[in-house]
Amino acid sequence: RRGVLAEARTLPTVTVDGHPVDLLANVGSAADAGAAVVTAAEGVGLVRTELPFLSAARWPSVAEHLANLVPVLRPLAGLPVTVRTLDFADDKLPPFLATGLAGRLGRGLPLMLAAPAAFSDQFEAILRAADETDIRLSLMIPMVADVSELRACRKVLDAAAATVGVPVPPLGAMIELPEAVEGVEEIAAEADFLSLGTNDLTAALLGVDRRDPALTPRRTGDPVVLGAIAHVCAAGRAADIPVTVCGDAAADPWVAPLLIGAGCTALSVTPAVLDEVRALIRGLDFADALHRADRVLDA
């Protein structure tokens, strides 16, 4: 079966009835990046950049960002790659941010916006690394709560691009907070793309801790969560921008058809299951996926 799946790597990711779905990879290391290329991902929908810094003693410098990023991006030359800025969330927080000042600043994006020099260093490093490795860069901001935060990020990005002397890449927002779903029309008007962080979004909408083992990717198929996702997809369509799913639900064989039926335009999954998800998309009838999503949304 593995061999049969590998043979399909040259085939387009379209449903049986011709509906295209972009198939992208989630990447956190150079090994993941290599696997994304081997399994013929069309691009990378999520590079997690915080992982090397989870035990950092201070904000990473431009050089430290570069040392981690360049080996991850190098195998991806020529491909569209979405790099996410540092996502120091509750479950991913280096010790120097867990106490003191950071404790008062909160987590995620508010923390980054409260540390503008550190934030701008990372933008600068990402722009330099992309330039050096010839990837087709997009930048993605995690934990966006509202449009004002995305505007603040765009300012930092514009300044960093001017410093490095490169064009400003597309900028996208992760939709993984219930507040972001509420204000998604405004966010979509300012963003070049949206990406659904279904791991955090599902936990928040169902009121479950994301570390709870009961929170499986399948819970993203809950009518409450799928309703929020369909709302985000409608906003993306109205603004004419792509809506990717980069949470684990994108690889769940029961939920992925619902995500496609709800209007998501791309799935980004761990390279280990990329072949399987390609087979799923190629075996899917889009009309049937629409119908299945409608039935859940009516529930």
Instruction: Please give the residue ranges that form the binding site for ligand PEP (CB under 6 A).
Output: 46, 48, 87, 176, 197-200, 246-247
Cβ 237 to ligand PEP, closest distance in Å? 21
Residue 236's binding partner out of ligand PEP, Mg ion, none, with CB under 5 to 8 Å set by partner kind: none
Cβ 78 to Mg ion, closest distance in Å? 28
Cβ 45 to Mg ion, closest distance in Å? 13
Query: Is residue 248 involved in binding Mg ion (CB under 5 A)?
Result: no
Residue of 175, 169, 199 lying closest to 187 (CA atoms): 175
C-beta closer to ligand PEP: residue 108 or 169: 108
Cβ 84 to Mg ion, closest distance in Å? 9
Binding piece for Mg ion, criterion CB under 5 A, among 8-16, 74-82, 169-177, 261-269: 169-177
Name the helix (H) or strand (E) containing 141: strand 136-141
Residue 198's binding partner out of ligand PEP, Mg ion, none, with CB under 5 to 8 Å set by partner kind: ligand PEP
Please give the backbone phi and psi of residue 171, each rounded to the nearest 5 degrees, phi first: -120, 125
Token pair, residue 244, equals: 């990717």
Query: Is residue 217 involved in binding Mg ion (CB under 5 A)?
Result: no
Query: Is residue 197 involved in binding Mg ion (CB under 5 A)?
Result: yes
Residue of 259, 268, 267, 265 lying closest to 237 (CA atoms): 265
d(CA 42, CA 226): 25
Any residues with CB less than 8 A from the CB of 150 and at least 6 apart, and which?
Answer: 141, 144, 171, 173, 187, 190, 191
d(CA 130, CA 77): 9
Q: For 88, left (φ over 0), alpha (ψ -120 to 50), or beta?
A: beta
Cβ 124 to ligand PEP, closest distance in Å? 22
Residue sitting closest to ligand PEP (CB): 247
Query: What is the distance between the terminal CA atoms of the chain, rounded to a whole angstrom?
Result: 36
Cβ 198 to ligand PEP, closest distance in Å? 5
Residue 48's binding partner out of Mg ion, ligand PEP, none, with CB under 5 to 8 Å set by partner kind: ligand PEP
Cα separations in angstroms, 164 against 126, 136, 154, 194, 229: 10, 16, 15, 25, 36
Query: Is residue 200 involved in binding Mg ion (CB under 5 A)?
Result: yes
Residue 246's binding partner out of Mg ion, ligand PEP, none, with CB under 5 to 8 Å set by partner kind: ligand PEP
Residues 4-63, interacting with Mg ion (CB under 5 A): none
Q: Which residues bind Mg ion (CB under 5 A)?
A: 176, 197, 200
